[in-house]
Structure 1
Amino acid sequence: MTSNEALFERAQRSIPGGVNSPVRAFRSVGGTPRFVARAQGPYFWDAEGVRYIDYIGSWGPMILGHVHPEVLEAVQRVLADGFSFGAPTEAEIEIAEEIRKLVPSIDQVRLVSSGTEATMSALRLARGFTKRERIVKFEGCYHGHADSLLVKAGSGLLTFGNPTSAGVPPDIAKHTSVLEYNKTEALETAFAAFGDEIAAVIVEPVAGNMNLVRGNPDFLQALRRLCTHHGAVLIFDEVMCGFRVALGGAQALYGIEPDLTCLGKVIGGGMPAAAFGGRRDIMAHLAPEGAVYQAGTLSGNPIAVAAGLKTLQLIQAPGFYERLGEQTAKLASGLAVVARAAGVTFSADAVGGMFGIYFTDEVPASFADVSRSDIPCFNAFFHKMLDAGVYFAPSAYEAGFVSIAHDDAVIDATLDAARSAFAALAA
């Protein structure tokens, strides 16, 4: 049996950092990544045969749990007919129709292969539609690794953005303005200063990439009002929270209709699939109908579509979201109770099937709030839980995910492990 350490050492010789996505490297928490060998339901097993309760679920897609038998059957059924065609299929129409049914703000949808593709394409479409260049994003919201989105705020509210990744030209970054999440006053000031220059505002209505942070309803309503008034396109990035926090996504929870929506994760059922869609008059600018070009060889891949379509069908079962929400809330509230009993500064939150844990007194409302959490304490907690067979996200800045397969026994086992972990932290 090969150890995780040996695999990581081997991986670093062929793969930058030994991983194909940075957070997997455990750089922020220290230690050796777990190399997964297989998964089932709420669990996965690493290369050494150790079983873990999985609270990342491939960062959101596995809302049904790993290897759900009906999703597996759907994938196996299409495999025999071909892996990829580069030509249209009826299944692409079916999943598009399902998305339109579940997300009423979407009149038309374009399938792509990743969340980054979805957000990048939606922004290009918004610029083509408005004939403007500036976009607005919010600190702590991650929208993929396209150049114009890897930008952090400058020293003042209205300064041009500065790249936060090497390789992003300043000439691209200068078209992105970054504001503080959930700050309505800053939003009003920005639109007053350059509202007629803004092509689009992109936001995670429930953020998951600075840990779980809920959008304030007044903040999101102000976004809708200001975008409408100034002719800017409002883009909800629901790659992570779409179908995770509610059947219709965060926009269903808040009762707000964006102009464009980016989806991913759940709509692929664990396969590489994503989408963007929205108002028909905006989508009409997309090639081949319009002048905004976007293409993808594997867009609408039949295997990914089969997994995603079956997942979307299964999550519509009566009581599904009630049960998912109950289990997620039980985990979050249980962790908070256990931490308080041990005397550890801690808070937690949950929305639908997403949760956040924070080593702070209060649930954060912004990236700055999250940054004030006790990161060393989180890192110690992460490793104690990992040693007990519970796999949380290896970063204090990532949300967690519960699947419908996380039953009471799984949650109770997690809380038992947490009781020991918090007691050790308090000692």
Structure 2
Amino acid sequence: MAHAQKVKRTGVIGLVIHCERREGCELSNKDIDMSRTHLNYNLAETIQPMKPEIFIKKRIDEVKHIKRDDIVYLVDWIVTLPKDVLADDQERFFEYTYDFLRDKYGIQNIVSAWVHNDEATPHIHFSFIPVVEIDGIERLKCKDILTKKELKRFHPDLGAYLENRLGYMPAIQNDATINGNCTIKELKNQEDLSLKKSLKNVYDHIEASKNIIVESNKINYETTNIFEKTKSLKKSHQVIDELKNTNKQLQSDVRTLSHLTLTQKKEIDSYRQMPLAKQLKEKNQVINNLYDSIFSLEKQIKDQEYDFSCLRNNYDRLENKTEKLKNQIFIHESFLSLIGLDKVFNEFKRIFTRNDYSINIDILKDICFKTIKKSAMMFKTLKERINFLSQQNISNKDVFLKKEQHSYKDIYEIGEV
């Protein structure tokens, strides 16, 4: 029976026009009966006599806030008169509702509290500026006021308050408001938007995953150049991380779609039991259309699951290629270490990568001399070891080359094993 509307700066005047029934108000609601507009009244007129737009500007200038157009300037609670409220209690119902909201959000933040009797169902618009005090400083912060917990507790708290004042419990809560503050139509609109948003997210994530796979296929895994292998490995890791993140988001959105579909099914079943749904013929048509929409969504979910499975297979293939690349790089590095060129290589790698994979000819010449010198030293060492092994009569098949360097003593002990 109640709904909270968040109003940004650009929407303030529109709400004021509607509440005060200024010129143009009929554009916001075709159900307004202008012949009964004189029956409307503002319960907050005495405590806030200023024009709403002037008061809002004045109050917001007094509090700390971010100057952005998307900030919520105003909250408008719309509380509809329940059908079970006695005719003699109608005015008291709105007065007590006003008292409840005034105490809850602060008298200093109230903009207006218009009771409308010129529409199909009487209701009150309680408009206030969402100000909270944090560490002694007043701040414009709607999200700290309209929290999920607050919205869930609103109807029970208001119902208990009215029961205490009226002497009986009005039908504040119903199937559409038991878990929130929306009418059936508003709740349906929100869920439809959630479905569309989740479905769009699924398509976007799948497209992103496909683009990532395309990029992964451009990686050269077969290059024999150690530097290119290193670059490919780095790029491969980036692709895997992006794919993991996209797939995680995709799974989340598919779960959301499944949950929303199940929720809609339950709601449709509850709508079938509503008296209005049984009385109005066109209601059944709406329900059937909703079922068709759900079947279509379920099919799309299955399609997304299949696409996700394909992406998962691509991800596994990519990981296998990456592992192969790691092994190849390890072999290259092991070879360089065994022939004593690992330090020279690291020096070359540092200079080469620092200069965006280019190198000065003089520096390259110096590194080549170092390589020749190191190679000559290693050749000399290997020759001495071969001669040593020959003198010891150690068979070649008993000698194993490993990454670690061995002394003559090590080689001798290997030969004795």
Q: Which TM bucket (shorter chain)?
A: under 0.3
Q: TM-score, normalised by structure 2?
A: 0.20
Larger RCO (alpha carbons 8 Å, 6+ apart): 1
- Quick check: which one's helix share is greater? 2
Q: TM-score, normalised by structure 1?
A: 0.20
- Mark the structure with the bigger radius of gyration: 2
